[in-house]
Amino acid sequence: MTHARSLAAFERSKRVIPGGVNSPVRAFKSVGGSPVFIREGSGATFTDVDANTYIDYVMSWGPLILGHAHPAVLDAVRAAAAHGTSFGAPTEAESELAELVIEMVPSVERVRFCSSGTEATMSALRLARGFTGREKLIKFAGCYHGHGDAFLISAGSGALTNGVPDSPGITAGVAADTIVVEFNDLAGVAAAFAAHPGQVAALIVEPVVGNMGLVLPEPGFLAGLRELTRADGALLIFDEVMTGFRVSRGGVQGRDGILPDLTTLGKVIGGGLPVGAFGGRADIMAALSPQGPVYQAGTLSGNPLAMAAGIATLRALRQDGVYEHFERIGSRLIDGFDAVFTRHGVAHTTARAGSMFGFFFHQGPVTNLTSAKSSDVALFGKFFHGMLDRGVYLAPSQFEAGFLSTAHSESHIDQTIAAADDTLAELFAGARA
């Protein structure tokens, strides 16, 4: 494949945009080389400015659960746009999408929309502090909850990829109020509560971690968090910005039956347009302005185009067979990767949760940030570029989950596995030579 136009586009962007990108992981720093610039997408594929087409497993980092340019979503956005793009006043579409969220996500009794997942988590934390009258936060090393100050303490995702887990600009006071524990370490959580009795406003967790690669909770971990937070009087926040509607129709909480006090959402509920949301128990949400004293606002919150795309997407996800499709093709993909990696003698571990998947070039289970960081990132970078050359677009970082859509077919999966086999054969042939 040639990438001359992408290279030129990157040089142009670097002259006017810091690092040439508007979100750090897009810059390919973790895998080397220069990013490809995308022209258009359709279904499970997209095409770059050099006319190279790829099977896409990033899906805009999760939102495009129906694939690129899904007809129902496009029709909904066109219809909404014809009436105006923003009003700064309530619309009935906001209530309709809120009703769908409340119907599908078990713990949510009231919901407030915003414009990004970062806004959702920042607002949920402020609400938790206002509701409890406490200040401290417990989070997990490697979990990424957006770029709010309180969350960029031992963060995952782009912060991890770019080697700056604790960003400059975070004050000592913010850091002092953030307690970091290893994921899957219930004893560590219990010790954190014991060390700060009656001081923790909330514990926030990605119930299935997608931002240090895909890392699954061990049996009993989420239930243990529910017990510990309830015993201390702290709120449990599930960050389901990524897992919401992907692990199941009701997210991880819908699958496992463990209900948090607050839930943050985004990505899928906007159908590919910028959106975020946070919701939970009615008594907690009642503390939000204008009903209560905790202030939160946003000029474009409840944007009619995003609401229309979200409504169309959630309606589609209520149809029969959607999640069975994810189970079928997800198993086919992960089983295929396992077989190929094993055949070539590559140390690895794989994981899947609904329409999310991941793999690490690391022997043995990956249960937390420490084990994730033991992965062979150099091999991943070579593998990424080999797959890219063969028309498969994976996340450009070892520390990101992959995403499937309803548009991915068994044929797409089989092409992907064949590309992986060919890539590793070439890599190891070169190493032996």
- What tokens does 425 get? 């054969």
Please, what sign has the CA dihedral across residues 224, 225, 227, 231?
Answer: positive
Query: 402-403 and 356-360: which strand pairing?
Result: antiparallel
Q: Tell me if residue 14 is catalytic.
A: no
- What tokens does 400 get? 């990101």
CA-wise closest residue to 143 among 131, 151, 134: 151
Q: Tell me if residue 239 is catalytic.
A: yes
CA-wise closest residue to 174 among 151, 140, 199, 197: 151
**DSSP per-residue string spanning 119-167:** HHHHHHHHHHHHHH---EEEEETT----S-GGG-SS--HHHHHTT-SS-
Which of 48, 56, 239, 261 is catalytic? The answer is: 239
- Angstrom distance (rounded) from CA 414 to CA 401: 19
Q: Are 93 and 87 in contact (CB under 8 A)?
A: no
Which amino acid is it at 103? E
Q: Which residues contact 352 (CB under 8 A, 6 or more apart)?
A: 214, 330, 331, 333, 334, 358
Q: Tell me if residue 139 is catalytic.
A: no
Q: Are 118 and 148 in contact (CB under 8 A)?
A: yes
CA-wise closest residue to 366 among 222, 218, 190, 253: 218
- Angstrom distance (rounded) from CA 404 to CA 423: 21
Q: Partners of 356 in the beta sheet? A: 353, 403
Q: Are 414 and 68 in contact (CB under 8 A)?
A: no
- Angstrom distance (rounded) from CA 190 to CA 188: 5
Q: Which residues contact 378 (CB under 8 A, 6 or more apart)?
A: none
**Angle, CA of 76, 82 and 87, to the nearest 5°:** 95
Which of 29, 136, 267, 373 is catalytic? The answer is: 267
Which of 54, 57, 144, 323 is catalytic? The answer is: 144
Q: Are 277 and 116 in contact (CB under 8 A)?
A: no
DSSP-derived 3-state class of residue 48 = strand
Active site residues: 144, 239, 267
